[in-house]
Structure 1
Amino acid sequence: MVFRTLTDGVTRGIEGALGAVSETLFEPVVRLGVTGLSRAGKTVFITGLVANLLDRGRMPQLRAQAEGRIEAVFLQPQPDDTLPRFDFEAHLAALTGDDPRWPASTRSISELRLSFRVRPSGMLSGLTGPRTVHLDIIDYPGEWLLDLSLMTKTYAQWSDDTLTRLANRPQARSFMAMARAEDGSLKLEEARAQALAASFTDYLNAARKAGWSDCTPGRFMLPGDLAGSPVLTFAPLPAPSQAPRGSLYREMDRRFEAYKSHVVQPFFREHFSRIDRQVVLVDALGAIHAGPQALEDLRRTMAEILQAFRPGRNTFLSQLLLGHRVERILFAATMADHLHHTQHPKLTVIMQSMLREARDRAAFAGALTAAMSLSSLRATVEETVTRHGETVEAVRGRLMESGRQAAMYPGELPDDPARLLSPAREGAERWLDAEFALMRFGPARIALKPGEGPPHIRLDRAAEFLIGDRL
């Protein structure tokens, strides 16, 4: 019996290894990471992308589809049995039902496998039959990606950086008052540590809701089973002149290091290290609407995110990836349907300008990068309206709060992105010569024809950049 058990185990191991080799050689897998910052529409992006890959009538810019080489696309069981499945069917039903609504945000990691049966192109087209390519979509919160920046910082550095950023933010007033009044050299009292962590968590949630991007540590807002544990019971504090053993500051330092070891590192080891392609979704319009400081915060946060794809300067990440690199990175400004199409190029240029320095560094590290504006599910129609006696190009949609139809002219984005980025870098509190409005529209009622996915803006171009070369 023991011998049979051992034999069965060896046999299963060999079969698993052969299956992995077979899949790598004959059924290649592309692992696409999808993440976004607050309110960027990550769930809608994945749902819209999958729906339009299954029914490709609205995907003319996906070259394999335009060439007629895609024979079939279908959902399959995901390879990672321990990860939750991305609930595509429920999210699609929410978006396309009789009473359409935005689906609930995903607050943890999930996965979905989409398989393509594709005929080869070029000289091989007449020599070989169709092949299967698997697309594994890994959905995870953007705050988890931002946590990677913590790996290269000490607690003292992180505290100093965080307290400096929070100094002028209204959402942080209560926490900052508590932190400044604390003496970190005194003996640890668990009740005080818990109160500080709770106040800091309240700030993070309020900042995320207000549109700030740099909300780390990410697990404070998505604690799951770790809620109440010491690994989530720390906060930034001013450095005391001395911090003896057993002091509050020393214990906060220890818990910060535990967070890196037990929360951040396992995520990157088990999931991030295997990603081949990455899309980062950004609510750039929301940041512009919130003002110069929010836009600068977004620019800085996007630069920090790009550091995650530069293992050469990160010893931890270099050891983790063992030579594996993300091959393509797409930065996408969502909700392009909240602008008239004549302004879409301006939004894309703003994205490119915000990320140019960091994007160049990522390209130097070997990743092909791109920036674009898109809408995962088009919720508006375009129309011309009169505003203050002038004719302007606007959009019309169904307001989320009331459900009534409304037209919106968000303002004219500048041709030169420096008109936004320069005052943002200089710390301006508001735009001096322009106003930018933003309404939140709900999904429109749609009637889909056979073979058509939901209406979108440039999802086909995004798909071509991310996976087109593998089809």
Structure 2
Amino acid sequence: MSASDGDGRESGKGAKHRLRALRERFKHLRKEARDKSHWAAERLLDKRICIGITGLSGAGKSTLISSLIYQLSHPDRAQLPGFAPALNGRLLGAELHPALDTGLPLFEYQRCLDALTANPPRWPESTRDLSALELHVHLQGRRLGRDYRQKVILELRDYPGEWLMDLPLLRMDFATWCRHQRDLLDGAPRAELAPELLSELNALTPETVVDSAKLDSLWQNYRQFLRDCRGERKLSYLQPGRALLDSEEYGFFPLPALSHQSQGELQSLPDNSVYKVLEARYRNYVEQQVAPFVDSHFRHLDRQLVLVDLIGTLFAGEESLEDMRKAFGHIADTFRYGSNGLLRKLWRPRIDRLVFAATKVDQVLAADHDALRQLLGQQLQQVFSGARHRGLPLYCEAIAAVRCSNESVRDGRRMLVGHAMDGRYLGFENAEIMAHLPQDGEWRHYTGGLPPQLRPPVGIGREGYMPHIRIDALLNLLLGDKV
């Protein structure tokens, strides 16, 4: 055999491999196009609805998502009189599927359900990263005298509320953010939490030559300060939000002392100055963490649900409630609002409905639920009253994803009863919820302390139902016009 014959065979094999690779690539592209066209048709026909779900710290997001899945998947066990498809017998059930097109990990529903149905039951762990799922909801309808089956795909995208607090950074450069943070740090309660740290930050001038060890120490102390703000004072508006969740060394913090320098003066500082180093870290955080999250996540959303632990915030005091309102105000402009026209549904969907829900209302008497909803509505009205938000369908509700308490009467007084996390049977009363923002001395009304944390009720799954408060009303807000 000549060398040329061997070369010819090798060339022929290479051509076959390339042809096979091209065929596989073509098959992949054809499947992708088919999937995308199917996805496009579902959006155009309102058969696919993408809902973003997040919650401010401690709002119970994992429990809420688990409850939504459970109620829709078990129509024979669910108690959803406020959700028309369930009331009319049209809800046939739902199936959980991975959200393959998102590239996101599947929400760990089974892990959450295992926690709620354990013996003794416990609360699911908090979400610390992005996840997604598809819930294929099956409905029965009747048209022209004939029954037919309908499938609506709910694409639920779950992300930590701490990430939500980072969205305003997209509209601020580092200097603007520092000045904004300075105003927060100078006021209560932040100024009282870590006076030594804040004194060090105030003493650090922008032109100071970087001392890496000192900078790292300040960053660790600032991260702990943010955690104390959340844990001790129940504050909501904390940045960078990811510093509360993971151990990544983002390494930037505000410089309150730069208030007198112009932008030109700051930009002329040497690269080894504190300002330039922190500015680079801030810019990297926004470009590498915040912007990609917004681009890959929010451009798909049709609706957004924000969960709020309003009861815990209210009993934590005036400063906590004011901080929550600031958080609402600064994130309000970040969502892309507006109606979803035919083409916009495909290319750049906008959030056409924003729902805020106060959670854990089983911590107060049923007579206070409406007052809690009114109070949340007042906070939202103050934030979204500007012209730039007109036309945005905004809703609020008060819910308990899993009801842990019942009401009882003792010595002629209504009270709540349930089990503490250690299993003890409790009976307790809380201050009556006022339907308006407390004024001056009225804050003393809430000084009795936070309601006790209760464990989930025993018997979820075995008795066949998951008790809740107004999950049906929430489903109606999120899906009622689509099903």
Change (3 A) 1:363 1:88: farther
CA drift at 1:468: 2.2
Aligned partner of 1:162 in structure 2 is 181
Q: Give the TM-score of the pair, scaled to structure 2.
A: 0.85
Give the aligned length. 443
CA drift at 1:290: 0.6
Aligned pair 1:413/2:438, yes or no?
Answer: no
Pairing partner for 2:163 from 141, 144, 147: 144
Aligned pair 1:185/2:207, yes or no?
Answer: yes
Aligned partner of 1:316 in structure 2 is none
- Alpha-carbon deviations, 1:279-321, whole Å to 9, x = none? 1000111111111111111112122232222569xxxxxx9x9
2:431 and 2:445 in contact (8 A); partners too: no
The 3-state SS of whatever aligns with 1:431 is helix
Change (3 A) 1:276 1:290: same
Pairing partner for 1:442 from 443, 455, 459: 455
Aligned pair 1:333/2:379, yes or no?
Answer: no
Change (3 A) 1:434 1:91: closer
Deviates further, 27-36 or 339-348: 27-36
Task: Please tell me the residue identity of whatever aligns with 1:39.
Answer: G
Change (3 A) 1:132 1:362: farther
CA drift at 1:322: 6.5
Task: Please tell me the residue identity of whatever aligns with 1:15.
Answer: K
Aligned partner of 2:60 in structure 1 is 41
Aligned partner of 1:64 in structure 2 is 85
Pairing partner for 2:243 from 214, 217, 220: 220
1:325 and 1:367 in contact (8 A); partners too: no
Residue pairs, 1:66-465, within 5 angstroms: 66-80=87-101, 82-120=103-141, 124=143, 126=145, 129-167=148-186, 168=188, 169=190, 170-210=192-232, 211-223=234-246, 227-228=248-249, 232-240=250-258, 241=261, 243=266, 244-246=269-271, 247-310=273-336, 323-361=348-386, 364=389, 366-386=391-411, 391-400=412-421, 402-415=422-435, 417-418=436-437, 420=438, 422-423=439-440, 431-433=443-445, 435-437=447-449, 438-446=451-459, 448=461, 452-465=464-477
1:278 and 1:326 in contact (8 A); partners too: yes
Deviates further, 368-377 or 21-30: 21-30
Change (3 A) 1:278 1:157: same
1:166 and 1:172 in contact (8 A); partners too: no
2:74 and 2:93 in contact (8 A); partners too: no
- Alpha-carbon deviations, 1:382-413, whole Å to 9, x = none? 11234xxxx4322111122x321111211012
2:407 and 2:414 in contact (8 A); partners too: yes
- Alpha-carbon deviations, 1:81-123, whole Å to 9, x = none? 63221111111111122210111111111112210122346xx
The 3-state SS of whatever aligns with 2:132 is strand
Identity %, equivalent residues: 29
Aligned partner of 1:315 in structure 2 is none
C-alpha distance in 1 between matches for 2:161 and 2:298: 12
Change (3 A) 1:199 1:449: closer
Aligned pair 1:466/2:478, yes or no?
Answer: yes
CA drift at 1:264: 0.3
C-alpha distance in 2 between matches for 1:397 and 1:369: 34
- Backbone CA RMSD of aligned residues: 2.4
CA drift at 1:219: 1.5
Task: Please tell me the residue identity of whatever aligns with 2:238.
Answer: C
CA drift at 1:47: 0.9
CA drift at 1:23: 3.4
Aligned pair 1:24/2:40, yes or no?
Answer: yes
C-alpha distance in 2 between matches for 1:308 and 1:9: 39
C-alpha distance in 2 between matches for 1:361 and 1:17: 42
C-alpha distance in 1 between matches for 2:335 and 2:430: 34
1:362 and 1:369 in contact (8 A); partners too: no
Change (3 A) 1:265 1:322: farther
Q: Give the TM-score of the pair, scaled to structure 1.
A: 0.88
Unaligned runs of at least 5 residues, structure 2: 1-16, 339-343
The 3-state SS of whatever aligns with 1:271 is helix
2:298 and 2:335 in contact (8 A); partners too: no
The 3-state SS of whatever aligns with 1:17 is helix
- Alpha-carbon deviations, 1:439-463, whole Å to 9, x = none? 111112125467x431000011101
Task: Please tell me the residue identity of whatever aligns with 2:182.
Answer: L
- Alpha-carbon deviations, 1:249-285, whole Å to 9, x = none? 1221222121111110000111122111111000111
Unaligned runs of at least 5 residues, structure 1: 313-318
1:291 and 1:431 in contact (8 A); partners too: yes
C-alpha distance in 1 between matches for 2:230 and 2:306: 17
The 3-state SS of whatever aligns with 1:103 is coil
Change (3 A) 1:111 1:323: closer
Deviates further, 4-13 or 430-439: 430-439
Compare relative contact order (CA 8 Å, sep 6+) and give the higher one, 1 or 2.
1
The 3-state SS of whatever aligns with 1:258 is helix
CA drift at 1:150: 0.9
1:184 and 1:238 in contact (8 A); partners too: no
1:156 and 1:239 in contact (8 A); partners too: no
1:109 and 1:141 in contact (8 A); partners too: yes
